[in-house]
Amino acid sequence: MNFLGAASSVGLILVVLWDAFEVVILPRRVTRKFRLTRLFYRSTWVPWAASAKRMASDNRRELFLSFYGPVSLILLLGIWAFGLILGFALLHSSLGTAVKMPDGESQFFSYFYFSGSTFFTLGLGDIVAGTPLGRGLTVVEAGIGLGFLAIVVSYLPVLYQAFSRRELNISLLDARAGSPSTAAELLRRHFNDGEFEELGSFLRDWERWAAELLESHLSYPVLAYYRSQHSNQSWLSALTTILDASALVIVGIDGVPARQAQLTFAIARHAVADLAHVFNTAPRPPVPDRLPPQELGRIRNNLASRGIVLRDTPAAEEKLNLLRRMYEPYVNALSQHLLMPLPAWDVAATAADNWQTSAWERVAKVTTDHF
């Protein structure tokens, strides 16, 4: 018996099982630096993102990036399965389990084949363990394999349900804030007949959305790599738009209570800060500045032309800059890591929403003024 080999094999099995437990079952963030999953995503995302950056077409780049989330998940599940099969094969080899094998076949290959057929509970019977310890390990591996397959079957629906809930509000944001969404457009579309309609309830819904995003993406970070249906939308862009709009309301807009905006801002900022920590993206301010003074002045004038008065004092401007410093370095770091562009504060020119276009026709000549 090879005690060192047996100990190493058991260690490999335990590492894989613990990694799968943390990713699939444990409903909280794992702060430990060395993790098999973290190593996998860091080593695969870098070349994938580098390949995407070389693509000239935005649509082709976004399509290529959209494959990473599902493909990486399949590869990760395959690595876990391979690691467990290899671990049990090495354990059988170290313990010297007597097995019947074809003439001229490699002993380790026979162990690996035997381990694989046991793990996936095939029960072919062409190779069987010939010792009590080997039979015991066979039962243990078959139980782990059955449990692994059951976890995978239950894990994928949960993952895609969380993705679907996330995308629902992003789709609704299309008609409420434009495509791509901007904070100024969001305010304009909720202002009618001299007052804001449903802005408070809208921010309350997005407070809950940000809380669900925080919970689901901390538990299942792979969801952050899943892209939205349209190339001009993303969960990060939507979250940044809500932060921008909440910041403007907190600074001061006539006729808008700031309390709900403060609550929404708090949970949204919490989400981006925690997610930046999960992906180990150090916060760094965007360069160039997303909202230089002249752009802020243009937004004030545009909003004023629609009857929306944004407070214009040195104290208000300083407060807005303070709020921006609380979240912009984090969303910028996530944007550069995930290759998800950040939204502008306002559209430079009138653009059609996603609902106004289709694959069979040019941009429909419809604007929100026709609602």
Direct distance between the N- and C-terminal alpha carbons of the chain, in angstroms, rounded to an integer = 78
High-pLDDT (> 70) share of the chain, %: 92
Q: What's the rounded Cα separation, in Å, for the pair 297 and 136?
A: 75
* pLDDT exceeds cutoff 50 at 14: yes
Grouping H, G, I as helix, E, B as strand and the rest as coil, residue 211 is: helix
Q: What's the rounded Cα separation, in Å, for the pair 121 and 213?
A: 37
Check residue 103 and report its DSSP letter: T
pLDDT tens column, 57-93: 888 999 999 999 999 999 999 999 999 999 999 998 8
Cis (ω within 30 of 0) for the bond into 180? yes
The percent helix, strand, coil of the chain (3-state, each to 5) is 70, 5, 30
Check residue 349 and report its DSSP letter: S
Q: What's the rounded Cα separation, in Å, for the pair 317 and 72?
A: 44
Q: What's the rounded Cα separation, in Å, for the pair 178 and 353?
A: 6
Task: Summarize the confidence of residues 116-141 as an average pLDDT.
Answer: 83
Check residue 21 and report its DSSP letter: I
Between these two residues, 352 and 189, which has the higher pLDDT value? 189
Could you tell me which residues come within 8 angstroms of residue 179 by beta carbon, excluding any fewer than 6 positions away? 230, 232, 233, 351, 352, 353, 354
Task: Summarize the confidence of residues 253-281 as an average pLDDT.
Answer: 91
Beta strands in 73-197 (DSSP E): 191-192, 195-196
Q: What's the rounded Cα separation, in Å, for the pair 87 and 207?
A: 45
Dihedral angle at the C-alpha atoms of 123, 127, 128, 131, nearest 10 degrees?
-160
pLDDT grade, residue 101 (50/70/90)? low
Check residue 37 and report its DSSP letter: H
CATH 3.30.420.40 describes domain 3-154:
no
Q: Specify whether the CB–CB gap between 106 and 113 falls below 8 A.
A: no
**Would you tell me how many other CB atoms lie within 10 Å of the CB of residue 257?**
13
- What's the length of the chain? 371
Task: Summarize the confidence of residues 173-185 as an average pLDDT.
Answer: 89
Task: Summarize the confidence of residues 345-363 as an average pLDDT.
Answer: 70
* pLDDT exceeds cutoff 90 at 326: yes
Residue 88: burial class (beta carbons within 10 Å; 0-12, 13-18, 19+): buried
Q: Where in the chain are the domains?
A: 3-154, 161-370
